[in-house]
């Protein structure tokens, strides 16, 4: 590793922000950092690494496992959504009253619901993207509706179609006991906000 990678891998006290572009050895640095933290006595259950894509998560998990000897199943490494799903299947989910399997709606199911509840002049893909953006911002339908108050009339009328569809779509998901990927993020955040003890749980799995 070069000097910058070594500094990133061996940082220990306090937060650190490392900016790195493609091909700069981010995965190598993260794998080395895992090893460094383990040498410092950090419990592997207290090390969390998230990434955006499943291939990147698989590669990171395998390389950490190969380097440290830890089993892949022991590692809290994965995409944001996969890790949230894992939390919801464990202690966080139990705290929220989610007993049993969590079923994720397929894109086909999502589009079917959006075609049924949405204005025909708007494509289901546009509704889906708008709802995903609301959920990325952790806005439930009521909160999304409150944002419309200060909008100019024409913009408000158009945005209202999306909020109405979001509300109806979410009601359909709830009735069918389905969740989409945005729900996974929202549920974990709300669960951790409402249950302070869970934020410091020694093992969430």
What would the pLDDT profile of 72-121 be if each residue is shown by its tens digit?
988 999 999 999 999 898 888 888 888 777 899 999 999 999 999 999 99
Asked whether 179 and 81 are in contact (CB, 8 A), the reply is no
For the chain, give the mean pLDDT: 90
Query: What pLDDT score was predicted for residue 200?
Result: 66
In whole angstroms, give the CA distance from residue 105 to residue 66.
34
Q: Is the dihedral of CA 110, 55, 183, 159 positive or negative?
A: negative
What would the pLDDT profile of 19-50 be if each residue is shown by its tens digit?
888 888 899 999 999 999 999 999 998 898 98
User: What predicted TM-score, i.e. pTM, was given to this entire model?
Assistant: 0.82
Residues 164-186 have a mean pLDDT of 96
Q: Token pair of 76, please?
A: 């809290």
Query: What pLDDT score was predicted for residue 203?
Result: 47
In whole angstroms, give the CA distance from residue 67 to residue 55.
18
Q: Give the residue among 77, 92, 82 at the shortest CA–CA distance from 193.
A: 92
């Amino acid at each position: 590793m070069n000097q910058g990678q070594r500094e990133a891998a061996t940082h220990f006290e306090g937060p650190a922000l490392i900016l790195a572009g493609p091909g700069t050895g981010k995965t190598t640095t993260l794998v080395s950092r895992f090893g460094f933290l383990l040498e410092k006595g950090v419990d592997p259950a207290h090390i969390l690494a998230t990434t955006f894509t499943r291939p990147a998560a698989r590669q990171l998990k395998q390389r950490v496992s190969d380097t440290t000897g830890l089993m892949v199943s022991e590692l809290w490494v994965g995409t944001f959504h996969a890790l949230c799903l894992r939390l919801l299947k464990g202690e966080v989910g139990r705290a929220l009253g989610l007993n049993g399997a969590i079923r994720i709606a397929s894109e086909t199911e999502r589009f079917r619901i959006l075609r049924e509840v949405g204005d025909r002049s708007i494509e289901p893909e546009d509704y889906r993207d708008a709802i995903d953006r609301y959920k990325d911002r952790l806005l439930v339908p009521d909160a999304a509706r409150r944002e419309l108050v200060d909008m100019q009339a024409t913009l408000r009328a158009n945005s209202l179609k999306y909020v109405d569809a979001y509300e109806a779509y979410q009601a359909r998901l709830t009735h069918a006991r389905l969740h989409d990927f945005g729900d996974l993020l929202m549920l974990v955040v709300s669960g951790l906000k409402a249950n302070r003890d869970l934020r410091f749980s020694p093992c969430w799995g």
